[in-house]
Structure 1
């Protein structure tokens, strides 16, 4: 999937770039509105991440020109620090497809991008994630392993969802804590305790463990024997 990031904040742009690239996206960057519009028109993109406040040309003007003058219908996810309803409505009027307020979760950026592209392509999004014999229903938030219902606490459910969305990827402790607890970071043993309870719940009937500890780095979801598909 090809994504164009139009963002003048170098730190935010770098975080988005690194996250998307690590998750298999082909990514390019534009640091101002004029450059962003030229790149958006010159190439074919699956989606555009567009900051609202940009030098040389603001995001609203860029989006309007992309729709009305260039006649491009590329999905646009607008990024902004403005969270007032009027600001959001203005973004939609100018052609944005979705709206994300800063500060945002990188996990949410990935989820929204995926949903936008699926809608654009006419695909029906499956409201579930599967890894081997584990199934997570995103609508009912129920978890099954080999047909067995697994009861999880909310934090365990969040951890499992994060790990299942990117199997094999190593998630650092700091990243997991920020995604699950936000600004209210837990003490040093809390994440370890929730991972332990999640492992225990998933392997309650003696099934192979799926969560691997990567020494000094974090955790990842891995296939054991013939579990992964």
Structure 2
């Protein structure tokens, strides 16, 4: 999933980036309102984290223009130091889906972000993904196979979540590269290396491979692993 962070404080933006990337999100950052509006309209985002006090265009105006002028319903979580009730109400009036006051906990940002995206996608009922004996807890971004904890680096975690959201669907290499790395596409061997790392982590002794390679096409999850290559 892709998240746009709109924040002019570089230290806050960096902390958010590090935390969300470690949780498996694809992240990009805009440091002023005008650039943020262009980026928000240029591609599809799963959510936007939006500061209110921005150079160029304030967050309220940006959110209003997204909703009223561009007709975008991308979920927006406003992050701001303004804690007065009128400020919060103004955020919702201008189209925000949720509102969090600084200073905030990164864990709370992650929890609110995940819940907001699930509401938008109609996935409120489930907090986990399961395929065969693999379980991905979406609230903690932890992975288990047959009860065994599986530790994954951020990109592999993101890759697994994409595959588990549409089991047995074949994802092309181009799709996976775009969803995991965004516009900064990796070299030709990077995806292959991450799939190999993911396989090694998921497959313990005696466990079948759940990732199938369709040579020249892409990858998919398979239930029994009988056809996995």
TM-score between the two structures when normalised by the length of structure 1: 0.58
Specify the SS of the correspondent of 2:3. Answer: strand
Aligned to 2:88: 88
Map 1:116-155 onto structure 2 (within 5 A): 116-126=116-126
1:225/1:115 CA distance change after superposition, 3 Å:
farther
Q: CA deviation at 1:74?
A: 0.2
Q: CA deviation at 1:18?
A: 0.8
1:45/1:127 CA distance change after superposition, 3 Å:
closer
Aligned to 2:53: 53
Greater shift after overlay, 33-42 or 117-126?
117-126
Q: CA deviation at 1:120?
A: 0.7
Over the aligned positions, Cα root-mean-square deviation in angstroms equals 3.0
Aligned to 1:181: none
1:110/1:71 CA distance change after superposition, 3 Å:
same
Aligned to 1:65: 65
1:43/1:127 CA distance change after superposition, 3 Å:
closer
- Counterpart contact for 2:32–2:56, Cα < 8 Å: yes
Give the distance between the partners of 2:118 and 2:27, measured in 1 at CA: 18
Unaligned runs of 5+ in 1: 137-161, 171-223
- Counterpart contact for 1:23–1:166, Cα < 8 Å: no
Aligned length: 151
